[in-house]
Amino acid sequence: MTRHHILSILLLTILIPITAVLFHNYSAFSPVFRARFSQMATTNKSPVIVVGAGLAGLSASYSAIQSGASVRLLERAPKPGGNSIKASSGINGAPTRFQNVEKYGVDTSFWDDTTRSAGVRLNSASVSPTVKRRREELITVLTNRSASAIDFLTDLGVDLSVVAQLGGHSLPRTHRGAGKTPPGASIVTTLLTKLKEQGPDRFQLVTDSEVTRLLTDSNAPKGTVKVTGVEYKNRQDGSTRLLHGPVVFTTGGFAGDTHGLLAKYRPDLDGLPSTNDPRPGTHTILSDVGAKLVDMDAVQIHPTGFIDPANPASPLKFLAAEMLRGEGGILLHNGKRVINELQTREKVSNALMALPAKNEDSLRQWDVQLLLDPGATEAAAGHVGFYLWKGLLQKKKIAELDETTRQTLKEYAAVVRGEKEDELGRKAFGNWRLTEEDVDEGEEEVCVGRVTPITHFTMGGAVFNTKAQILTAELGEEQEGKEIEGLWGAGEITGGLHGDNRLGGSSLLECVVFGRVAGEEAAKYRV
């Protein structure tokens, strides 16, 4: 072989792989080419502006990017997550592969449970057929897309393999992970990681940025509204900026706006503690451009916020997750049960608030005990460990409990064993395993903590439709032609979906379902 031949072979061994890589990267069918091309296409259009980095905003951002847009996510707080990151019981979905079909059959009752829970705002004879239809349409989207919401999150890597039954549900359908990380935190952090992986051309999270106003097109035809962007304030330096593009509004509810919207719509709730961090409601930003609001007086009181023995008068409380009752926990007042603990939140809270209130500083609180037997403690171990560490739950031997409580436990154990019907109507007992004999022996340990009803969630919000468009029409009015162009909404900021009472686990779900719809629609619309 000549020197010339050897050189040629060497050259070819170097050139062939380089050409292959180049061809692969720039072939119209290669992922690299498609990503670069869609990036170029993206940069020629305005970004989708998402306002609020809770679960609804993160879901909308992800789906807008999947649909080819770039996203600017504006967040008022220094960190993303909102109330979503605090969610502790889980997200509803039915039918899913994690539900126990052998024990319960295929879950077909989510729609029925949700419409029943919506109460008189949906079911009373005086509700107009249009209002009924609109509410039911929203519930249909929520429940029909619940299984794919669970698939979407699990495909991203979120563990949702454990399923519990919450109040008002006819069977277990609230999904959480098997580990110690609560579901809100694991969903939010997974989505954030996936979004950051998109790179700054596709996704930018801008924190400490409070949207103060929606920009509108003054040339929009009479009787219509077109949103063209937002004005926002940097909370660090006070400067104001404008950003143009279609807007997805996901700023959450107003249960934390104690002296603002909450006092305006429900002055009677003054003095109740809350699970929500204090922050101003944003509903007037929407109504200022003509959006209609609905159900603003429908505020959910959660029956069980922990009263911290070290700081009983704190107005902000840790939630005693409903899942604790779902896994077997019971509620006691002076040693006696007062209600089927798995009734809807509205009913459980009403029953507790009918007991004598105990004013502590300026707070209205009640004296109720949450008690978990060893079975419930074990099933909720991840959560219980945290509550014990915070001093919100204490371990006690049964022998240390008062006589009335021990008697109640014996009667309840007989109910769980199927020896008699529960006088209060409870039929699902989670993982309760304490027997009458265990109570007599007194050696087993239970977990006990003081809880009280707290403001938790606002059902009311902006009127929206199944495409997540925000409307200038009331729920009962003709809606066609009343969509605000360039504006979508999802999550707790929207209203009309839950009626009188939201089922536990359905807020994370609405964030994912309608957030994804909103992100996709806004991406399609880009100008």
Q: Does the footprint of ligand FAD cover residue 434 (CB under 6 A)? A: no
Query: Which tokens is 9 given?
Result: 């072979």
- Is 283 catalytic? The answer is no
* Single-letter amino acid, residue 143: T
Q: Which of 504, 514, 518, 521 binds ligand SIN (CB under 6 A)?
A: 504
> Which residue of 159, 322, 492, 500 would you call a contact of ligand SIN, by CB under 6 A?
322
Nearer to ligand SIN, 322 or 373 (CB): 322
The whole-angstrom separation of Cα 52 and Cα 73 is 7
Angle between helices 506-525 and 146-156 in degrees, nearest 10? 80
**Secondary structure (H, E, C), 115-172:** HHHCCHHHHCCCCCHHHHHHHHHHHHHHHHCHHHHHHHHHHHCCCCCEEECCCCCCCC
Q: Is 497 in the site for ligand SIN (CB under 6 A)?
A: no
Contact of 144 with 107, CB cutoff 8 Å: no
How many residues of this chain interact with ligand SIN, rule: CB under 6 A?
10
Q: Does 262 bind ligand FAD (CB under 6 A)?
A: no
* Of the candidate residues 33, 39, 67, 86, the single one contacting ligand FAD (CB under 6 A): 86
Catalytic residue among 134, 169, 175, 325: 325
How far apart are the C-alpha atoms of 294 and 213, rounded to whole Å? 20
325 is annotated as an active-site residue = yes
Q: How many chain residues are in contact with ligand FAD, going by CB under 6 A?
A: 40
Query: Which of 294, 322, 282, 342 lies closest to 456, judged by CA?
Result: 322
Q: Which residue is nearest to ligand FAD (CB)?
A: 54
User: For the purposes of burial, counting CB atoms within 10 Å of the CB of 393, is it exposed (0-12), middle (13-18) or buried (19 or more)?
Assistant: buried
Kindly state whether residue 252 participates in binding ligand FAD, applying the rule CB under 6 A.
yes
59 is a site residue for ligand SIN (CB under 6 A): no
Q: Which of 227, 323, 484, 513 binds ligand SIN (CB under 6 A)?
A: 323
Contact 150, 505 (CB under 8 A): no
Residue 258 structure tokens? 């104690």
- Give the active site residue among 76, 173, 302, 433: 302
Q: Are 62 and 490 in contact, with CB atoms under 8 Å apart?
A: no
319 binds ligand SIN (CB under 6 A): yes
Decide if residue 54 touches ligand SIN (CB under 6 A): no
Q: Which is nearer to ligand SIN, 116 or 410 (CB)?
A: 116
**Per CB under 6 A, which region of 106-114, 195-203, 244-252, 371-379 contacts ligand FAD?**
244-252
Three-class DSSP category at 486: strand
Residue 319 found at the interface with ligand FAD (CB under 6 A):
yes
Q: Count, in order, helices (H) and strands (E) of the chain.
A: 18, 23
Using CB under 6 A, which of 48, 71, 74, 248 touches ligand FAD? 74
Interacting residues with ligand FAD between 142 and 201 (CB under 6 A): 184
Helix (H, G, I), strand (E, B) or coil at 88: coil
Instruction: List all residues 6 or more positions away from 243 whose beta carbon is below 8 Å from its beta carbon.
Output: 47, 49, 72, 74, 229, 230, 232
Query: Within a 10 A sphere around the Cβ of 190, how many other Cβ atoms?
Result: 18
Q: How far is the CB of 414 from ligand FAD (least distance, A)?
A: 31
**Nearest distance in Å: CB 40, ligand FAD:** 29
Site for ligand FAD in 268-297 (CB under 6 A): 275-276, 279, 282
- Residues engaged in binding ligand FAD (CB under 6 A): 51-57, 74-77, 82-84, 86-91, 184, 210-211, 250-252, 275-276, 279, 282, 319, 457, 491-493, 505-508, 511
Interface with ligand SIN by CB under 6 A: which residues?
Answer: 88-89, 319, 321-323, 457, 504-505, 507
Active site residues: 302, 325
